[in-house]
Chains A and B, each alone.
Chain A
Amino acid sequence: MHIHAYEKFWLAASILLILLLIGSVTYGAVGPGVAMVADSEPPIDAQGLDEDERFSEPRVEQVGENHYAAYVVAYQFGFEPSPIVVPENSRVTFYITSRDVIHGFEVAGTNANTMVVPGEVSEITVETDGPEEYGLICNEYCGAGHHVMEGKVHVVSQEEFEERNSGGDDA
């Protein structure tokens, strides 16, 4: 079979394009460590969050060297804690659950974005850079007040984080 030279060129170019696309995604996973939201957390009782060790008191706490856990409860129509205060240049794992209906958890303008399903815990780990104030929105229609459901994520300096955490102990 005779194939025109241009035809061969187009074939090669399209194969190259596919390899580049797959290669980029592989690079993203291996290099910067981009990951998907996984189904790693066991289900919990959405009606019993008050007795849950992690979610009865939504908070941010240190769980390792430069590693923080933020326990967040989404509800109609807001997020707790509000604002969510995390330190700069650290690794933060958000554990988010809902006490009523399905919500969204999207830190506006960033890649931190997951669904929040009652009875399930969504776990996402992100790396923070410098101090910044992010908006936090619900991106799943959750009822009449969906459009006003918002929160804040404040990335603050280490000193400010410690000050806030030690100052108002159970605030």
Chain B
Amino acid sequence: MGQNQAAHASTDDVSGDEEFDPIGTLTLIGIYFVILLLAWVYIYYIEFLGRDLVVVG
């Protein structure tokens, strides 16, 4: 469906890809992004730095 929309926009309207508005994809990527950030914060700052005997040299 997304492809059809894109193809439609490019043939019908040269400058009109702003009509192509994949808000679902944007939301999904936004959710993935937040999961990535939270996972990194947890893994690095809490799991890794929070462990005992951090190697300092």
Contact = CB atoms under 8 A, between A and B. Distances in A.
Interface of A: 2, 4-6, 9-10, 13, 17, 20-21, 24-25, 28, 32-37, 91, 93, 107, 109-112, 123-129, 132, 134
B48 A111 contact: yes
A111 B51 contact: yes
Contacts, number: 76
A6 B26 contact: yes
Contacts of B20: 4
Which secondary structure characterizes the binding site on chain A?
mixed
Given A2-B17, A6-B26, A127 B53 contact: yes
B56 A28 contact: no
Interface in B1-57: 15, 17-18, 20, 22, 25-26, 29, 33, 36-37, 40, 44-45, 48-49, 51-57
A25 B43 CA distance: 12
B54 A32 contact: yes
A35 B51 contact: no
B37 A125 contact: no
Given A6-B26, A17-B33, A20-B37, A111 B18 contact: no
